[in-house]
Chains A and B, each alone.
Chain A
């Protein structure tokens, strides 16, 4: 009796083990055998891509059209967008490499993967990619160069150049008879007037002129006016250095300290998370929103949410402030947003590059940015970037199109798609962009990461940078004296950045200086 019970239990356990094993059986792989009178068979490309949760993958007509036009079959692996880096790290370490990999950042990890041979060099393939070559700036492409191999190991995604403007509450300015500031002095006057004037007329001292965020020294709305330059732009003596090593940095901090003392700066600014000032602007607490605000934000969700909550709100913008010479210097390096690399396990890199080149073509740009005609848009003009989508198609646009999916979102620093859902919105944005490029003195520079050794040196500085942020915050709110602050910068922070500054100087002396 006992033996038969043991046999029965043994049989149950065995069947459980078998069931568990069978549950891991793979599905049969799909075999694509489509041929079309001599046309190549569609190439199956496995790809890991970073896509937002709102983008629908299943039965997506845009992906279907892309596959049809580019003659590919895309097998997309889509990790969570917020933990994309972890997933890619695991994939790269495990050797389970898809053909095409989107890397979120061109950083030290990218350099490592390429140096380890996981990503193939693409220099030879660029000879046959006319669309990529036409629509990518050399400085953008150069960002994909790997220090150790000296070769280009990916195709960067060209992105819009940063255009720094400030959005402000024109209704508040009008109520206090203020005008948009053009200089540092005017800025200070306006900031103090807003702080003292109760612009929302609620009888409470709950409104501030602006807020601040970490990295405020690179806030180009003001920093250029104080003479703070980019890391690879020299002073009169040909010396390059980081912002903290420049005279204008301390002056900028002094300015913020003064504004804070006058209650023009939000007292909880040091608690802000990234873009935390946008939330406060939306909540009607701030007169101004900056931190790399762009012209498209004039018609963006932040402004729309603000106007819904405060129907009397009017939003306008002003440009970066003028310096002592009357110029508005802004330092811009061609921007990229991630990059696309081909793994060493890809069977047909040539065709994958052809696919990537197609995504940079007129047809590819239209499919990936505008979508499917009649489903996500009515008309699209690639020259003007105007895409007309009636309201009935907006839902489909949200589900089937995403800038995350696109392989190119801008050409030579300017957006492919003119932002705005209506003619009026598009005009507003276009006018602001035109005003920006007309009146701002753009200093073209290259990313500091081009300097050999810069990225590796920067990696070691996380702790000192956090300490620096704390010192900046304490100085601005008045917890430490100027001597203490300057002492920290000169005796601790700058010496810790010796390697970084050395890398920048070397790069400037050998590659930029004429």
Chain B
């Protein structure tokens, strides 16, 4: 029979302190979200009377009904989903297809190409040259102007290259000996082994794409082409504009509770993705680490 070792008092106290600190920190992280949720289901008049509540009382879903009926939310969702899904898929495909050959040290010219990518990390054309580029490519007012510019990031490329380099060459060599082509090796051998990195980098890109809005300000003129975050920004920030109050009395201002509902509607979907990818996320945190 194996005897369980007893926990010593110093182990207990360290555990207690750790759990308390982590618990407090977790609650601090959750509080803003709880606040947003509370006031998304609270009537506006209740908010005016008590703007600092963390638990909903008079629960009502009127704000959600209004916000989901707002036409731009529907088009925003459509655009953002497209940008996120297509953008992430393209990003991962290009990442793999670029990182794999660049991970080969014996590939001629790989260093030069790699440096070209690194160059983009330090230098950027800026807002106006990028606008010119989009205009010349006829991408102004097109959803692809929100996808293509950021479709392959140098930093993620470096991470992916390092990850692929950690995979033993013997696996590839065995596959090649068995008659597999480079493409077959990439998708049948390398890709399954890169799943943690692919999922992590994919998640980073997806979250970035979901939250992006600035490019739309520059390149998209039509409101129906705006992504969700830009619409959210308009709804929330416009209420603070002084012209709204000065210019018109009966203009439709967006009450605080409606803004909170808008935040919930735009952030909940991406937050729901995290639990399903958590195990890959944990593995992917060690991206680039030594694996011997």
Contacts and interface: CB of A to CB of B under 8 A. Distances in A.
Interface in A383-414: 394, 397-398, 402-404, 409
A86 B217 contact: yes
- Say what secondary structure dominates the interface of chain B: helix
A394 B251 contact: no
Given A24-B144, A86-B218, A309 B247 contact: no
Given A24-B139, A301-B253, A94 B132 contact: yes
Interface residues of B, number: 50
Interface in A278-292: 278, 282-284, 292
Contacts of B106: none
Interface in B250-266: 250-253, 255
A380 interface: no
Contacts of A5: 181, 183
B138 interface: yes
Given A284-B49, A309-B49, A83 B217 contact: yes
B83 to A, nearest CB: 14
Nearest to A98: B221
Given A20-B144, A283-B48, A82 B218 contact: no
Contact of B218 (A81, A87, A284): A87
A78 B225 CA distance: 11
Q: Which among A26, A82, A274 has the greatest number of chain B C-beta atoms within 10 A? A: A82
B251 A52 contact: yes
Interface in B167-217: 181, 183, 217
A175 interface: no
Contact of B249 (A282, A301, A402): A301
Nearest to B234: A53
Interface in A407-426: 409, 419-421
B138 A26 contact: yes
B127 A52 contact: no
Interface string B209-250: 000000001100111101000110111011011111111111
Contact of A54 (B137, B224, B252): B252
Contact of A52 (B44, B217, B242, B244): B244
B45 interface: yes
A90 B183 CA distance: 43
A274 B240 CA distance: 7
Contacts of A283: 48-49, 51
B241 A81 contact: yes
Nearest to A81: B238
Contact of B231 (A53, A77, A420): A53
A325 B245 CA distance: 33
Contacts of A297: 245, 249
A48 to B, nearest CB: 8
A397 B218 contact: no
Contact of A296 (B234, B242, B249): B249
B273 interface: no
Given A83-B217, A283-B48, A284-B49, A275 B251 contact: no
A25 B137 CA distance: 9
A421 B230 CA distance: 32
A82 B234 CA distance: 6
B165 interface: no
B80 to A, nearest CB: 15
6 contacts: A52-B244, A53-B231, A94-B128, A297-B245, A301-B249, A404-B243
Interface of B: 44-46, 48-49, 51, 71-72, 127-128, 131-132, 135, 137-139, 142, 144, 148, 181, 183, 217-218, 221-224, 226, 230-231, 233-235, 237-238, 240-253, 255
Given A20-B144, A297-B249, 15 more contacts: A2-B181, A5-B181, A23-B144, A24-B144, A25-B138, A53-B231, A58-B224, A77-B221, A80-B217, A80-B226, A283-B49, A301-B253, A309-B49, A398-B251, A420-B249
